[in-house]
């Protein structure tokens, strides 16, 4: 039983710590997910609390996992763990039934699970949770109150500071498609294959065909077989992005900017009304110097044209604005505004507005020869 108890502690502790960590280093991402729930539940009054709740939930999860893993106050943590698991198992069952938000984000953006998969994960995790709960009175509390509660308090403080740092800069680990090093378009994509399954009406036999290699022109065959299902096989590892860059007249410039063979800066602000206006003004000089050197520089936003024009006049901005979907922009960089640097579609670097570089710093890092001239 001691071995079973140890395995249960390790399993539950590591899962909770991993889940809390991947959400804690991306507090904005979890905050966006909570906002989706508040919209789905009609509790819009909770929107201002999304970010704070994001930090609170991820900290609770990480610290609870650590407390369980190191067996601090086993009687107390067993009750806490059971309460948390009962609550979230019930919540994920509701999500699985009614699907208010397609992905609950239990593992942030590191691992994507459907709502049913998340519920099944919690059901499985309930087994070691019950082991820990029913074995709690037989577990020796090896540490005193000072060590146990002091360690928990210290972990809470450190984890909250980590989350705040990631919020004020960028996540220390980027799980998004637009992370540094990724190429955002497929140069020579392999063809996507479509497989069709048909069933013989008389015999019940099923047969799968690679479209369009099936006898759809044979009227006799078509009368004897009926369509059952279709599956898609995409051999391309990277499926591409869902960003669409439009000018104010609705013309699509996505490939023009993403596939720019030179340096291309993308200043991202999903909503200008909530952006840091000082940062938008501060980057203006950077944009002028970049364009003077022949580099591309544009701003992407989901704000309306009249909002864009008003802000450009107010801040005397010279760079061009293009429109894009706000949800996509939020996945590109966790800042408002944030900036990405692309070269031939490859993401070379990303910056939070608190860390926008001076133009000379860009030259030193990416064009050291030019900066010395």
Task: Judge if 61 and 122 occupy the same domain.
Answer: yes
106/141 same-domain check? yes
Q: Give, in order, the Cα–Cα distances in Å from 200 to each of 213, 222, 227, 256, 359.
A: 17, 10, 9, 49, 68
| 108 and 197 fall within a common domain | no
Provide the whole-model pTM. Answer: 0.84
Examine residue 97 and state whether it is found in any structural domain, yes or no. yes
Q: Which of 268, 265, 324, 330 is nearest to 109 (CA)?
A: 330
∠ CA 333-337-340, rounded to 5°: 45
Work out how many domains the chain is built from and give that number. Answer: 3
Q: Is residue 176 part of a domain?
A: no
Please give the helix or strand (H or E) that residue 227 lies within, else none: strand 225-233
Give pLDDT tens digits along the chain (373 positions).
789 989 999 999 999 999 999 999 999 999 999 999 999 999 999 999 999 999 999 999 999 999 999 999 999 999 999 999 999 999 999 999 988 888 788 888 888 889 999 999 999 999 999 999 998 888 878 888 899 999 999 999 999 999 999 999 999 999 999 999 999 987 777 788 889 899 999 899 998 988 888 888 888 888 899 999 988 887 766 666 889 999 999 999 999 999 999 999 999 999 999 999 999 999 999 999 999 999 999 999 999 999 999 999 999 999 999 999 999 999 999 999 999 999 999 999 999 999 999 999 999 999 765 554 4
Same domain, 15 and 138: yes
For residues 21 and 156, state if they share a domain.
yes
Question: Is residue 202 domain-shared with residue 140, that is, in the same domain?
Answer: no
Q: Within a domain: residue 242?
A: no
* Burial bucket for residue 205 (CB in 10 Å: 0-12, 13-18, 19+): exposed
What does residue 339 show for φ and ψ, rounded to 5 degrees? -140, 140
Give the span between the Cα atoms of 287 and 123, in whole angstroms: 52
Q: Which of 365, 361, 155, 348 has the alpha carbon at shortest distance from 262?
A: 348
pLDDT of residue 373: 45
Q: Which pLDDT score is estimated for 174? A: 93
Last residue of a domain, one of 176, 203, 233: 233
Task: Provide the token pair at 279.
Answer: 């940062």
Which DSSP string corresponds to 155-219? HHHHHHHHHHHHHHS--SS--STT-TT-BSS-SSPPPPEEEEEEEETTT--EEEEETT-S-TT-H
Is 271 contained in some domain? yes
Question: Do residues 5 and 131 lie in contact, with contact meaning Cβ atoms separated by under 8 Å?
Answer: yes
* 34: in domain: yes
Q: If DSSP codes are grouped into helix, strand and coil, which group holds residue 342? A: strand
Domain that holds residue 54: 2-168
Tell me, yes or no, whether 6 and 142 share the same domain. Answer: yes
> Does 224 share its domain with 259?
no
* Tokens encoding 19: 């889940």
Largest CA distance in the chain: 82
224 and 319 housed in the same domain: no
In a domain, 238, yes or no: no
Q: Does residue 333 sit within a domain? A: yes
The rounded Cα 4 to chain-centroid distance in angstroms is: 35
């Amino acid at each position: 039983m001691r071995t079973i108890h140890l395995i249960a502690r390790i399993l539950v502790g590591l899962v909770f710590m991993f889940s809390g960590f991947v959400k804690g280093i991306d507090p904005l991402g979890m905050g966006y997910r909570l906002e989706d729930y508040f919209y789905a539940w009609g509790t819009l009054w909770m929107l201002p609390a999304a970010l704070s709740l994001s930090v609170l939930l991820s900290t609770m999860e990480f610290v609870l996992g650590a407390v369980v893993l190191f067996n601090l106050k086993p009687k107390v943590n067993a009750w806490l763990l059971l309460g948390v698991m009962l609550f979230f198992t019930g919540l994920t069952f509701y999500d699985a039934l009614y699907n208010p938000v397609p992905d609950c984000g239990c593992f942030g953006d590191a691992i994507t699970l459907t709502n049913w998969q998340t519920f099944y994960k919690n059901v499985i995790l309930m087994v070691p949770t019950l082991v820990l709960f029913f074995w709690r009175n037989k577990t020796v509390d090896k540490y005193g109150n000072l060590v146990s509660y002091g360690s928990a308090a210290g972990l809470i403080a450190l984890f909250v500071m980590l989350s705040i740092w990631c919020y004020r800069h960028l996540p220390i680990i980027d799980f998004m498609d637009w992370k540094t090093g990724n190429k955002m378009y497929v140069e020579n994509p392999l063809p996507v294959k479509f497989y069709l399954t048909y069933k013989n009406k008389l015999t019940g036999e099923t047969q799968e065909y690679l479209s369009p290699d099936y006898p759809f022109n044979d009227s006799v065959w078509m009368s004897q077989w009926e369509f059952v299902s279709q599956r898609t096989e995409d051999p391309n590892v990277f499926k591409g992005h869902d960003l669409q860059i439009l000018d104010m007249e609705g013309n699509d410039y996505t490939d023009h900017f993403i596939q720019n063979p030179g340096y291309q800066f993308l200043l991202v602000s999903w909503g200008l009304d909530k952006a840091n206006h000082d940062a938008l003004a501060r980057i203006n000089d950077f944009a002028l110097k970049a364009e003077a050197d022949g580099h591309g520089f544009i701003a992407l936003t989901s704000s309306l044209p009249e909002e864009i024009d008003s802000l450009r006049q107010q801040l005397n901005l010279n760079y061009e604005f293009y429109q894009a979907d706000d949800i996509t922009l939020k996945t590109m960089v966790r800042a408002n505004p944030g900036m990405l640097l692309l070269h031939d579609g490859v993401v070379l670097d990303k910056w939070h507005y608190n860390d926008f570089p001076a133009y000379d710093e860009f030259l030193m890092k990416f064009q050291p020869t030019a900066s010395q001239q």
